[in-house]
Amino acid sequence: MLQEVRTEFLKLFSSSPRLFCSPGRINIIGEHTDYNEGFVLPAAIEKNIYFAIAPNTCGKFRFYAYNLQEFKEFDSIKHQKKQLWENYLLGVVSQMQKTGKMIPSVDVVFGGTIPWGSGLSSSAALECGFAYALNEIFSLGFSKLELVKLSQLVEHESIGVNCGIMDQFAVMFGKKNHVIQLDCKSLDYNLFPWNVEGYTLLLCNSGVKHSLASSEYNVRRRECEDGVTIVSRHAESIHSLRDISSEQLERYASEMQGKTYQRCRYILDENERVQQMGKALLNGDAKQVGTLLFAAHTGMSCEYEASCVEIDEMVDIARSCDGVVGSRITGGGFGGCTITLVERDAVDSFTKQMTSQYYVKHNISPSFMEVVIGDGTREL
């Protein structure tokens, strides 16, 4: 893909580009905790978006999306309708300009190997990769953390998704064969070795993505904020779910309406599972890693209600397969993928059983990808 992107750039434009890559990310555990200032445990993966970029003198931003075979050019950075791919790039330029930086026009070709819509954060890879490249090419002086925050603002203001910071942080700070335990309140982080000898982590793509994902994401966020508002009436020090103890949540549960309590309960429990997962990895305890994955899925499905029938069935099938120690939904929810930890010798039998049973129910053949943990955004 890198060579194809470079070749396409040379065909379209007359200059020689610099080359960058930006990875997707997998979240091992800690779903929806990031925007509640909690803990997450993501990692960059060896599936990337590749960029060929060079300044131009025509005064236009010229973008070519290789996978889509779409070319677009802009005299200004005013974005179009939300969710169009060019808004991720235009949004990066806009956020940089808001800091007072002058961003010259550039030619860009990008293409990647991250499956779109699979919960691997291709959007964060696109934002972070372009931001990193502009910072390097024009010596803008942004730190990596500043680029992370800038890319998050692109989602908020140009795309309309009020996401937390996990995706961009994992994409930018990933390290090969390590997972990142990130404190989303302080942005302190620790690296843990991915230490599960004899096991393979598989991404299983359900082939479905329900349209309510984006709208329900914002609903869940508001429900969590409602819980914080209620508890903060009794304790002024409460600013997020991260500040609420289990005892406080139970004490004021009767004041919470609708699904507010169970959303908050899930977040508190998920934060604890992230802490336990770090210890399990340090100990090389694959069985405990798997137990935590199953528990996390139950929470996402039953308490946070961010799963769906197809994904729940994939996890149920995984439970019945020999050699599987854990499985859960990954990503924002309502479709997409599961991650499953399975003994290396049992991978073939697992994928065959999953394929046959899932196809019978949904007439869809799931796809599988071994997760290889790689480095973060960088120049090649």
* pLDDT tens-digit readout, 177-203: 999 999 999 999 999 999 899 999 999
Residues with Cβ within 8 Å of residue 29, at least 6 apart in sequence? 40, 41, 270, 273, 274, 277, 292, 293, 296, 328
pTM of the model: 0.89
pLDDT averages per 10-residue partition of the chain, 380 residues: 96 95 95 93 96 96 96 80 83 95 96 80 94 98 97 90 87 96 94 93 90 78 96 93 96 96 98 96 96 98 95 97 96 88 98 97 94 96
- Strands 178-183 and 324-330, bridge-based pairing: unpaired
Cα–Cα dist 180/267, whole Å:
19
238 within 8 A of 228, measured Cβ to Cβ: yes
**Residue at token pair 């989303």:** 184
CA dihedral sign, ordered 157, 159, 162, 167: negative
Mean pLDDT over all residues of the chain? 93
The domains of the chain, with CATH numbers, are 2-193 (3.30.230.10), 199-370 (3.30.70.890)
Q: What is the pLDDT of residue 81?
A: 61
CA 266 centroid distance within chain: 19
Q: What is the pLDDT of residue 274?
A: 97
329 within 8 A of 300, measured Cβ to Cβ: yes
Cα–Cα dist 332/309, whole Å:
15
Tell me the residue length of the chain. 380
Q: What is the pLDDT of residue 214?
A: 67
CA angle (25 as vertex; 2, 220 as ends), nearest 5 = 140
Q: What is the pLDDT of residue 236?
A: 86
Cα–Cα dist 110/5, whole Å:
6
Q: What is the pLDDT of residue 319?
A: 97
Residue positions annotated with a catalytic role: 167
29 within 8 A of 327, measured Cβ to Cβ: no
Q: What share of the chain is helix, strand, coil (3-state, %, to 5)?
A: 45, 25, 30
Q: What is the pLDDT of residue 212?
A: 64
Measure Cα distances from 122 to 45, 64, 129, 283, 356 in Å. 11, 16, 10, 32, 29
